Amino acid sequence: MTLPVILSVDIGTSTLKAVLYSADGRVLALSAQSYRYQTPQPGWAEAAPADWWNALTAALTELQTAVDLQRVQAIGLTGQMHTAVLLDKAGRVLPPTILWLDRRAAAESAELQARLNLPPDQFNSTYTLPKLLWLARRRPEIPAQTRALLWPKDYLRYRLTGQRLTDVTDAAGAGLLNWDTRTWALDRLALTGLSPTVLPALRQPGDDAGALNPSA
């Protein structure tokens, strides 16, 4: 009898980790793949989402040598928060992909903190919203071309399934969640010039997020 296997993937700031678990929680195999992020100016930090995908591919190739990946019955994705991945109408990444630790939007962060009157546990400088406002003011061609807004784990899920989804934790970490209704805060998104159509569907972290594309 072939026992099922669970694949867990964590997309970190500089390392992707992939672990295969048995159904009873035993670690069967693991792989860690590193990549670099760019710092074009002091206080700036940018990622290349293609690096995450390449790291996942490399990790799966390594894991396959230890466990038959045909046994995988479920995949769980997690990772760094606040880092927005913007896609154009063809599903291509629109750079820059500004990392959570980037500080270029400090002025926008302070402005939004005062304007929205949110406590620090609901909004701070690592969040996505001030970075989107920075892009709207200094690189308006980027939001003008944006057709989808995702976060790192969501980008890999999109590549794997074609589904544009996120969960309420990343929506909150973006500064774009209405905490009372657990829906998108469209009034905040409007500050960035982005259309509500760029937003992915909201799910709970444990929800089914679709099936793999045959090509994946």
Q: Report all structural domains of the chain as residue ranges with CATH numbers, in order of start.
A: 5-203 (3.30.420.40)
Residue 19 has a pLDDT of 99
Residue 1 has a pLDDT of 58
Q: How far apart are alpha carbons 96 and 46 in whole angstroms?
A: 6
* Helix/strand/coil for 89: coil
99 close to 158: Cβ distance less than 8 angstroms: no
* Helix/strand/coil for 184: strand
Residue 123 has a pLDDT of 81
Count of other CB atoms within 10 angstroms of residue 77: 20
Strands 72-79, 46-47: parallel, antiparallel or unpaired by DSSP?
Answer: unpaired
Residue 3 has a pLDDT of 84
Strand partners, 78: 10
**Residue whose structure tokens are 């089914």:** 208
Give the amino acid at 155: Y
Give the amino acid at 39: T
37 close to 97: Cβ distance less than 8 angstroms: no
Q: What is the DSSP string of 93-153?
A: B-S-EE-TT--TTHHHHHHHHHHHT--TTT--TTSHHHHHHHHHHH-THHHHH--EEE-HH
Q: Which of 24, 5, 7 is nearest to 16 (CA)?
A: 7
Q: What's the average pLDDT block by block, 10 residues per block, for the chain (216 residues)? A: 90 99 96 98 98 99 97 96 98 98 95 87 87 98 98 98 97 94 97 97 93 85
Residue 80 has a pLDDT of 97
Give the pTM: 0.95
- Residue 44 has which token pair? 């700036």
